[in-house]
């Protein structure tokens, strides 16, 4: 008797506390960064630290937002990530379509190659790429980031899109063939519009992956005007280079770099989860 009335309540209580713990665990560090970015310099270097910014001080934000080096870095990141996403989608979508829908010899080899690329540590090819790009005069050129960026986002692009293409109803393509459409027409006029949601989801995943890239950007971009946001944040010494580590400005820069991604993630969370898991978990 007691069990049936008490059990569910207890279980619900346990679930609620675990849920609260999970949300806290996920958000607390980010929350703390926001708080730090809103503190005055004095408050940041006060020990023990205070849990709230009292009073709220926007000085760090003003400094970071008006810092042209940082604006430039955000712009560089946006350009590189957009180019990588577009090129990777173009190459990846046709490749994924072939894998999902066509029968051809060597499909296993293609899949194995894609899998092998996903295992490459960036470090394994950094020395030859550096020598190559130096010879081609690509150091400090965005191409030096876009080329490896495209290559290393291709596996995720191909897996995710293959999963999406496989889930499209086959009848529509077949109807198009029956109506006399060529394979290219079918792909462009029938498949591409149907796959748009999948392509969009994949684009978000690729953009985030590319936005986060550090190793190649750190290595191939030596000029301050050419670095991307992650490199700028890693090397951030603040508006006033002589001062102590400017934790407030670093926190503001970290939040500023993250906001576009957080908005993207919150708006499209359902799609992102579906895209993230579709390549790896099979139904």
Partner 1 sequence: MTATAPHFEAPPVRAPRRSVQALLEARFAALLVAPAMAVIALVAFYPLGHALWLSLWKINLRFANTPWVFVGLGNYVDAITDDARWLNALRVTLTITFTSLLAEFVLGMIFALVMNQSFKGRALVRASVLIPWSLTTVVSARMWQVIYHASYGVFNRILVDIGLIDAYKPWIISPVFTIWAMIGADVWKTTPFVALLLTAGMQLIPGELYEAAAIDGATAWDRFWRITFPLLRPTMLVALLFRMIDVFRMLDLPFVLTGGGPGQATETLSLYTYRVIFTDLKFGGGSALAVLTFLMILGSAFIFIRVLGAPVAGAESER
Task: Give the DSSP letter string of 74-115.
Answer: HHHHHHHHHHHHHHHHHHHHHHHHHHHH---TTHHHHHHHHH
Least distance (Å) between residue 62 CB and partner 1: 19
Q: Helices in 102-236 by DSSP H: which ranges?
A: 107-119, 123-135, 143-167, 170-178, 183-185, 192-211, 215-220, 229-234
Least distance (Å) between residue 242 CB and partner 1: 20
Instruction: Kindly tell me which of 223 and 270 has the beta carbon lying closer to partner 1.
Output: 270
Instruction: Kindly tell me which of 208 and 221 has the beta carbon lying closer to partner 1.
Output: 208
Least distance (Å) between residue 211 CB and partner 1: 7
Instruction: Kindly tell me which of 9 and 119 has the beta carbon lying closer to partner 1.
Output: 119
Q: Which residue, 231, 232, 161, is CA-closest to 196?
A: 161
Least distance (Å) between residue 44 CB and partner 1: 7
Least distance (Å) between residue 156 CB and partner 1: 10
Instruction: Kindly tell me which of 5 and 104 has the beta carbon lying closer to partner 1.
Output: 104
Least distance (Å) between residue 47 CB and partner 1: 5
Judged on CB neighbours under 10 Å (0-12, 13-18, 19+), 102 is: exposed
- The H or E element containing residue 262 is helix 247-267
**Token pair listed for 214:** 């550090």
Instruction: Kindly tell me which of 68 and 119 has the beta carbon lying closer to partner 1.
Output: 119
Instruction: Give the separation between CA 199 and CA 203, rounded to whole angstroms.
Output: 6
Instruction: Give the separation between CA 252 and CA 63, rounded to whole angstroms.
Output: 9
Instruction: Kindly tell me which of 91 and 239 has the beta carbon lying closer to partner 1.
Output: 91
């Amino acid at each position: 008797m007691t069990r049936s009335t008490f059990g569910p309540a207890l279980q619900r209580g346990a679930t609620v506390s675990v849920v609260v713990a999970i949300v806290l665990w996920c958000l607390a560090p980010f929350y703390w960064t926001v708080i730090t970015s809103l503190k005055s310099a004095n408050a940041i270097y006060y020990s023990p630290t205070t849990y709230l910014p009292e009073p709220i001080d926007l000085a760090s934000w003003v400094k970071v937002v008006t810092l042209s080096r940082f604006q430039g870095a955000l712009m560089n990141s946006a350009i590189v990530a957009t180019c990588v996403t577009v090129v990777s989608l173009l190459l990846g979508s046709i490749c994924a379509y072939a894998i999902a829908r066509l029968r051809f010899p060597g499909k296993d080899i293609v899949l194995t190659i894609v899998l092998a690329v996903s295992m490459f540590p960036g470090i394994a090819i950094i020395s030859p790429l550096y020598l190559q790009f130096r010879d081609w005069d690509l150091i400090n050129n965005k191409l030096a980031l876009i080329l490896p960026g495209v290559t290393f986002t291709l596996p995720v692009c191909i897996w995710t899109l293959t999963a999406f293409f496989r889930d499209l109803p086959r009848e529509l393509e077949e109807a198009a063939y029956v109506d006399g459409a060529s394979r290219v027409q079918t792909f462009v006029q029938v498949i591409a519009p149907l796959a748009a949601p999948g392509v969009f989801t994949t684009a978000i995943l690729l953009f985030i992956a590319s936005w986060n890239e550090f190793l190649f950007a750190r290595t191939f971009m030596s000029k301050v005007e050419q670095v991307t946001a992650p490199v700028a944040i890693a090397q951030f010494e603040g508006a006033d280079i002589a001062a102590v580590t400017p934790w407030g400005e670093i926190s503001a820069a970290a939040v500023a770099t993250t906001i576009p991604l957080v908005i993207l993630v919150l708006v499209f969370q359902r799609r992102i989860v579906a895209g993230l898991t579709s390549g790896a978990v099979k139904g």
